[in-house]
Amino acid sequence: MELLQRELVRHIMGNFGIAPPPHFGAGGITTPEFKTNKAVKMEYTDGEESEVISYPVWAGQAQLGKGVLRVAFIDIEDEFHEYCVVFRVDDLQIYGVKHIYMEGELASFYVWQDDWVPMTLAKKLYISSGIEQFADHGPLWTPGEPKDLFKPLASLVDMS
């Protein structure tokens, strides 16, 4: 089950152009014009030492039939690449995926309900199918702002 979930998350992120180096920045919403002036701040504590690091938020949108798909994400460049991505169509449900690229990769799916809640396998497959249909149409991304995606994105980043 974990392997399937990881592949679904990787596929969704790939459809948005989100992939670890050397592919990061090659397309989708990872090119420079999609970097916003917003940032998510994280505090790291090591004993008595603490450090606050700001991670830039990237955001884009694409026409999806009569609706608009909006996506926001951050790249936590640490020992490993960790991507936190939130997306929604118009004012519908907000979804989040998180992927840590490391040995024994970790990937997870969530739905926003004033906090992140895990999804059923059926819902994960449904969302993945929708993103795949979207990608089949060759989306034309335009830069966007995170707006109502910022709070869920910051919350997703903060999850362990």
- pLDDT per position as a tens digit, 142-153: 999 999 999 999
pLDDT number for residue 160: 58
Position of tokens 């960790």?
Answer: 82
Pair of tokens at residue 59: 């955001």
Position of tokens 């399937």?
Answer: 4
Q: Structural domain tally of the chain?
A: 1
pLDDT number for residue 151: 95
Q: Which domain holds residue 75?
A: 2-158
The per-residue pLDDT for range 28-78, each reduced to its tens digit, is 899 999 999 999 998 888 888 888 989 999 999 998 778 899 999 999 877
- CB 151, CB 144: distance < 8 Å: no
Provide the mean pLDDT of the chain: 89
Count of C-beta atoms within a 10 Å radius of residue 93: 12
Amino acid at 144: G
